[in-house]
Amino acid sequence: MRSVALALSFLGAFCVAVVPTTARAVSLIRDAEIENTIRVWATPLFEAAGLVPDDVHIVLVNDRTLNAFVAGGQNLFLNTGLLLRSQHAGQVIGVIAHETGHIAGGHLARLPEAMKNATAMAILSLLIGAVAGVAAGRPDAAVAGVAGGMTAAERNFLAYTRTQEASADQAGVNFMEQNGLSSRGLMEFFDILSGQELMVTSRQDPYVRTHPLTKERIDFVRNFVARSRYSDAPLPPEWVEMHKRMRAKLFGFIEPISRTLTIYKDDDKSVEARYARAVALYRKPDVPRALATIDSLLREAPNDPFFHELRGQTLFENGRAAEALPAYERAVELLPKSGLLRIDLARVQLEFNRPDMDGKAVANLNEALRQEGENSMAWRQLAIGEGRIGNIGMAALALAEEALLLGKYRIALGQAQRAERLLPVGSPPHMRVQDLQVQARRELAKQRDQGGGQLP
C-alpha cells in the first residue's frame, strides 16, 4: 500500500491536517480548548475502564456526518458532526462511554498489528478510504481502492458485531454509573439513530452502518435509564458551559461566516454567542470588531487561556506579531501543560527572527513535543529554531523526525545520517537518530517489497 502524505496547515486555535485521497480530502482538527473539553469529560470514563487516560489519543475529524469510532488500539475518533449536532454534553459523554467500552473490551483485536502500532494520523490515512466508502454506502469498493490487497476482515474494521455493540453498551453505562453520570444522553443518541434505520443507506449517518443498532440494545439502555439512580443527575455546570462554548467555537470556524452571524445574533450577549461571533469576525476578517468582541469576553474572564489564544491568533494571522505575543504568553502562563498553545507561542517567537526569541521558541517547542511527538509541524518549527541558534545537528534531527511522520523515508534517512555525523557520540540525540535510521530503512524495505513508490 502506498503511503499517504499528510499536509499540515496551522491556523492558530485550529490546526487542520488534510489527508488527501482519491475519494476526497478529509481533515483532522487540532484545538487546545476542544481537546481539553473532551478529555475532561472522558477522563473519568477512561479511569473507570481501567485505562491510563494519557494513553488514549483523542482525534477530532472534520466531517459533518454523525460518527465516532476507535481504531489502532487506544485512538478515539470523534466527528465534528457529532459534536455540533449534540444538544448537550451528556449525549457526547454517552458516545464516549460506549466507544470506551470497545477499547476496554478489546474489540479491536482483529485489526492488523501494524495498525495497532500506528500513529493516529497514520491510522486515518489507512482508514480514510473506508470512511469515505462508508459515507458513500460502499465500504468494500473504497477500501479496495486504497488498500488493494486487504482481507475481507480488514475491510470491515469499522463494523462491530452486535455482540460487541451490546457489550460496549453495558460497559459504557457502567462506566457512567460509577461516576454518578446519567446514561440518558446515550439513550437520546440511540433515539436519534433509530430514526435513520428506514433511510436509504446513502442518507444514513456512518454511525448507523458501522455500529449495528438493534431493538435489544435500545431496550437495554432504556431499561437501564429507568432504574438508575443517576438518570436525572445534572451535569456539573462547568461541563454545560464547556459544551456550549465547544459548539459555538466549532460553528464559528466551520460554518459559513454569514450563517454564524445569523445564528449567533448581535443582540445575544451570552458567552457562547460572542465567542462564535468573534471567530466569524476573525475569519471575515473584521479585526477591529473581532478584537472588541474578544476583549469583552476577557473583561469578564481575564484568566481564560482560550480567549487570550483567540486574541493572539486574530492579531498574528493579520500581521501583528508584536501585539499577538503577550496574548500567547498569557495563554501559556495560564495553561502551561498545553503543547498546542506552546507551539503557537513558538511560531510567534520565531516570527521575530531574533536570537533571544529563537532560544525561547526552541525551549517551548521541546516542552510541547513531550506531548506532541506526532506533530510534524512542531518538528519543522523546531528545526528552524535550532538552525538559527547554530544547533545544526539538532536541526537535522528535527527534520528527520518530521520526514518520518510524513512518510518521506528517504529524506528521513538522509537527515538522520547527517545528524549522526554532527551530534556527540553516545548522547541521547545521537542514539535517537540511530533509531530513526532503523525505522526509515525498515519502511523503505517495506515499500520495495510491496512494489510501491514513495509519494513526494
Q: What is the reported pLDDT for 150? A: 36
> CA distances (Å), 455 to each of 146, 230, 403, 444, in order?
14, 53, 12, 12
How far apart are alpha carbons 243 and 139 in whole angstroms?
A: 32
Q: What is the pLDDT of residue 19?
A: 43
Domains of the chain: 7-227 (no CATH), 246-450 (1.25.40.10)
Compute the distance between CA of residue 68 and CA of residue 47 in angstroms, rounded to an integer.
20
Please give the grid coordinates belonging to residue 257. 461566516
All three cell numbers of 38, joined, read 473532551
The pLDDT, as a whole number, for residue 166 is 86
Query: Grid coordinates representing 237?
Result: 455546570
Distance (Å, whole) CA 104 – CA 125: 24
Cell 438493534, residue located? 214
Q: Which residues contact 270 (CB under 8 A, 6 or more apart)?
A: 244
Q: Which residue has the cell 433511510?
A: 199
Grid coordinates in use for 400? 528527520
**What's phi and psi for 77, nearest 5 deg?**
-100, 130
How far is residue 125's CA from residue 128's CA, in Å, rounded to a whole number?
A: 5
- Compute and round to an integer the Cα radius of gyration of the chain: 23
Q: Which amino acid is at 374?
A: E
449 vs 437: CA distance, rounded Å:
18
Q: Which three cell numbers stand for residue 314?
A: 486574530
* Concatenated DSSP letters of 267-295: T--SHHHHHHHHHHHHHTT-HHHHHHHHH
- The whole-angstrom separation of Cα 193 and Cα 335 is 37
Could you tell me which residues come within 8 angstroms of residue 300 by beta carbon, excluding any fewer than 6 positions away? Answer: 271
Contact 309, 341 (CB under 8 A): yes
What's the pLDDT score for residue 449? 85
Q: CA-CA distance, 43 to 66, in Å (whole number)? A: 22
CA separation for the pair 372, 402 (Å, rounded):
12
CA angle 220, 103, 202 (to 5 degrees): 70
DSSP-assigned letters across all residues of 390-432: T-HHHHHHHHHHHHHHTT-HHHHHHHHHHHHHHSPTTSHHHHH
Each residue's pLDDT, cut to its tens digit, for the chain (456 residues) gives 222 233 333 334 544 444 444 344 567 899 999 999 999 999 999 999 999 999 999 999 898 888 888 887 788 999 999 999 999 999 999 999 999 999 998 766 544 444 444 555 555 554 544 444 333 433 333 333 333 333 343 444 445 577 788 899 999 999 999 999 999 999 998 888 775 544 434 454 555 555 556 688 889 999 999 999 999 999 999 999 999 999 999 999 999 999 999 999 999 999 999 999 999 999 999 999 999 999 999 999 999 999 999 999 999 999 999 999 999 999 999 999 999 999 999 999 999 999 999 999 999 999 999 999 999 999 999 999 999 999 999 999 999 999 999 999 999 999 999 999 999 999 999 999 999 999 999 999 998 887 754 444
Residue 324, C-alpha cell as written in the block: 499577538
- pLDDT at residue number 134: 37
Contacts of 220 (CB under 8 A, 6+ apart): 166, 169, 170
Q: What is the largest CA-CA distance in the chain?
A: 68
Query: Helix/strand/coil (H, E, C) string of 231-259?
Result: CCCCCCHHHHHHHHHHHHHHHHHHCCHHH
Distance separating alpha carbons of residues 413 and 424, to the nearest angstrom: 18
Closest CA to 118 of 374, 340, 438, 452: 374
CA distances from residue 296 to 31, 35, 311 in whole angstroms, order as listed:
22, 24, 11
